[in-house]
Amino acid sequence: MTAPATGRTRRRLTVRGTVQGVGFRPHVHRLAAEYALAGFVGNTADGVVIEVEGPLPDVERFCELLAEHPPPLASVTAIGHEDLPATGSGETFTIRATRHTTGRTQLPPDTATCADCLRELADPADRRHRHPFVTCTHCGPRFTIATAMPYDRAATTMARFPMCPACAREYGDPLDRRFHAQPVACPDCGPGLSLIPAEGTGARPARDAEALARTRALLAQGRIVAVKGLGGYHLACDATDPRAVATLRARKERGSKAFAVMCADLATAESVAHLTDAERAALTAPERPIVLLRARTPGDGPRLADGIAPGSPHLGVLLPYTPLHTLLFGLPGDPPGPRVLVMTSGNRSGEPIVTDDAQALIRLAGLADAWLTHDRAIAAPCDDSLLRVRADGTRQLLRRSRGHVPRPLTLPVPVGAALAVGGDLKNALCLGEGGQAWFGPHIGDMGDLATLDAARRAEAHLAALTGVTPRLIAADRHPGYQSTAHARRRAAEAGLPAPVLVQHHHAHIASALAEHGLDGSTPVIGVAFDGTGYGDDGTVWGGEILLADYSAYRRFAHLVPAPLPGGDAGVANPCRQALARLWAAGIDWAPDLPSVAACTDTERAVLHGQLTHRIACVPTSSMGRLFDAVASLTGACHRAGHEAEAALALEALALEARDADSGEYAFGFAPGPRADPAPVLRALLADLRRGVPAPVLAARFHRGVAGAVAGLCRRAREASGLTTVALTGGVFANALLEEDSTARLTADGFTVLRHGRVPPNDGGLALGQLMVAARVPRPGRAR
């Protein structure tokens, strides 16, 4: 870059990153005005282009400040500089209309309402007082209203709402907080609320302020209301009303799966859960995720219904993130109402979250007593994100969705334009091209036609925003996965080669490598523990130690397999899995064992026949299934109504004794090497018969698994010389196991990779598929 030593100069800056929809152009305008610079700023499909002209020192200072102090929601990845001849025309600095060019920019995620907008919402003298859609350049919807790029009002679902003169003045005023804020609106020109009661409730429809007041009254009366949010509908009810919670659980057929709750404010959250400083920061972050917290024993604060999170020491808590949420809890002077609401996804169990208003009235009929809706369309579904905060203050995303999508991940090695479809559980797709990858929002489990349709729409929306046209598709190797069948259809429709099929646990490990910025030039010891994954031998894997990079892997060690009676259908019965594990270990089914007592005589007879004659018994090395079996043996869970229910119950049990006992059950090591749980089971049953409390049994089992992880990694290091370990798979969402395994490995000199920004479960699978598929046409397994 060259520039005149003195006098007037002109410079073009090309800015890339998350620079649209975040007030970047107004920020540039104000900065240029501060230094009396001429020129312009405008959006392009590549990002933002700026030309500034003025005295050289002022131009250079402008460039420094732009790089060092971007707007709060912006994320600048690159700034290109080019000197131009000065025009000397005396022009002012202007914001130009968007240029429609080819290229790519980044759209920010949806962001929680900022403090300035909340003050306006609560101020009776402000024209946006009680406006449920108050927003500005620093907050509000982005991803869920954008329909195309570049990001301008015409390419959002706000396009149908012409601005009134007052909003148009704010939009056009460079000194205003809403200068070029695309969702800007007010009560005179913006979306409106509607309350639609279900037939037979006796309630009357209502609009706007009356709709809100009646909704608050319905919630206070114990009714269930479907509330339209940023990325879909929620089903809401008073979290302190046992009858309302039980009714919602029954209507949604949710079994014992925990509900998330939204607290009116941080003080209310403190009254129902224990919070560390790091957890407070996570709760109040702009992403506003659901945060898993330790539930507080009922005290002076609201007493939550027992049916919120049955049997769990944890509580999923989030804070209001839209003006509508804030209004649901009421402003000063409003009649008192619930301070804690259940906020669960607006869907029937197994279906995707509902976003369409007409579909909401159909698909949520029978679940909701009323619908609080509005006429701003949702461009894409986007469920709430979920995370936990570790003891060291770091965060582990368990569901990457609202607040994070479509923020890109920087890849350690470039990839061609590709789509990875993920797996059948916790599905989230991933698009990649060049040095970036974009996760789509959480879709859910792929067992429903509506979910498959949601996945197709999520891909189309993300492709429109990123400009990625896939030339390659990656999927899981499981021949029976719906996601894999979808990938085959998608490839055929697009005239692309057949999908690259990636082994499940290889993808998990590759996901961890990519998140940590490793280029794959050196393999790692991948510890992939989960419930299920199709193995190279046709059995169910899930307790794997793989030596892996992006292009290949070798199965170094695994859990000794046991039969899985009924295959995937048997997962709902941990007591049967326990008996199968005992049978594999040569341990009798003594009638005093909890798992034996939990099975009926008929079940035991059928199970014995299946195991003896190897009928419908797929061998599995799954660590997740071993957790299920031990959950039953300790009495924590014999029948599971949802995925991971038994493992969560076992972890909850272990938490009760984590500091009261230091014993552990040691695994055996068979040739292979293979970790043999038979000694663990024998020791656990011996303790059980001696009357050792169940929480101690659970804690000793957890420590035993962590010991096996450390032991197998030592063996892998001795055999390979590798010293980096990746802990991945859904089992490592277990805080106790991840913490203990990490501590042991670190003490033993290993570098440990843990998931943070990408879920360890199948919600992060697509990133690994993308990286593996990009390296080789058909991923191999032998090193």
E-strand ranges in 409-516 read 409-420, 430-439, 472-476, 500-502
**Helix (H) or strand (E) segment spanning residue 83:** strand 75-84
The catalytic position among 16, 25, 407, 674 is 25
Tell me the β-bridge partners of 13.
50, 81
Per-position DSSP letters for 271-326, written without gaps between them: HHEE--HHHHHHHTSTT--EEEEEEPPP-SS----TTSSTT-SEEEEE---SHHHH
Contact, 537 vs 600, CB < 8 A? no
State the Cα–Cα distance between residues 277 and 19, nearest whole angstrom: 30
Backbone dihedral angles phi then psi of residue 318, each to the nearest 5 degrees: -140, 160
State the Cα–Cα distance between residues 651 and 392, nearest whole angstrom: 19
The catalytic position among 10, 11, 16, 43 is 43
Contact, 658 vs 699, CB < 8 A? yes
Burial 61-81 (b: 16+ CB within 10 A, else e): bbbeebeeebbebbebeebee
SS3 584: helix
Residue appearing with tokens 């990656």: 474
Catalytic residue list contains 427: no
Q: What is the 3-state secondary structure (H, E, C) of 633-656?
A: HCCCCCCCCCCCHHHHHHHHHHHC
**Helix (H) or strand (E) segment spanning residue 229:** none
Pick the closest to residue 408 from 139, 19, 15, 140 (CA basis).
19
Using CA atoms, how far residue 412 sits from 301, 337, 722, in Å, is 48, 50, 20
Tell me the β-bridge partners of 237.
342
392: tokens are: 């060291």
State the Cα–Cα distance between residues 196 and 369, nearest whole angstrom: 9
SS3 578: helix
DSSP 743: H
**Most distant pair of Cα atoms in the chain: their distance:** 94
DSSP 571: G
Pick the closest to residue 726 from 778, 767, 698 (CA basis).
767
Helix ranges (H only) for 566-693 are 574-584, 594-598, 601-613, 623-633, 645-655, 678-689
Using CA atoms, how far residue 312 sits from 521, 578, 695, in Å, is 42, 22, 13
- Taking 3-state DSSP, the helix, strand and coil percentages for the chain, each rounded to the nearest 5, stand at 35, 25, 45
State the Cα–Cα distance between residues 458 and 453, nearest whole angstrom: 9
How long a stretch of residues is the chain? 783
Burial 606-644 (b: 16+ CB within 10 A, else e): bbeebbeeeeebbbbbbbbbbbbbbbbbbbbbbebeebb
Tell me the β-bridge partners of 234.
227, 345
The angle that helices 645-655 and 694-720 make with each other, rounded to 10 degrees, is 100
Question: What distance lies between CA 620 and its chain's CA centroid?
Answer: 28
Catalytic residue list contains 254: no
Contact, 52 vs 39, CB < 8 A? yes
Q: Give the number of other CB atoms < 10 A from CB of residue 502.
A: 25
Contact, 561 vs 762, CB < 8 A? no
Give the catalytic positions in this structure.
25, 43
